[in-house]
Amino acid sequence: MRRRKRKGRGEKKTKRKEGERKKEREGRERESERERESGREERREREEREREREEERRERERKNRREKERGKDLSGRS
- Count CB-CB contacts under 10 A for residue 55: 10
Dihedral sign, CA of 72, 76, 77, 78?
A: positive
pLDDT digits (tens, 9 = 90+) for 14-70: 667 778 888 999 999 999 998 888 889 999 999 999 999 999 999 999 999 998 888
CB contact at 8 A, 13 and 7: yes
pLDDT digits (tens, 9 = 90+) for 5-16: 776 666 665 667
pLDDT on residue 28: 92
- Tell me the whole-structure pTM to 2 decimals: 0.47
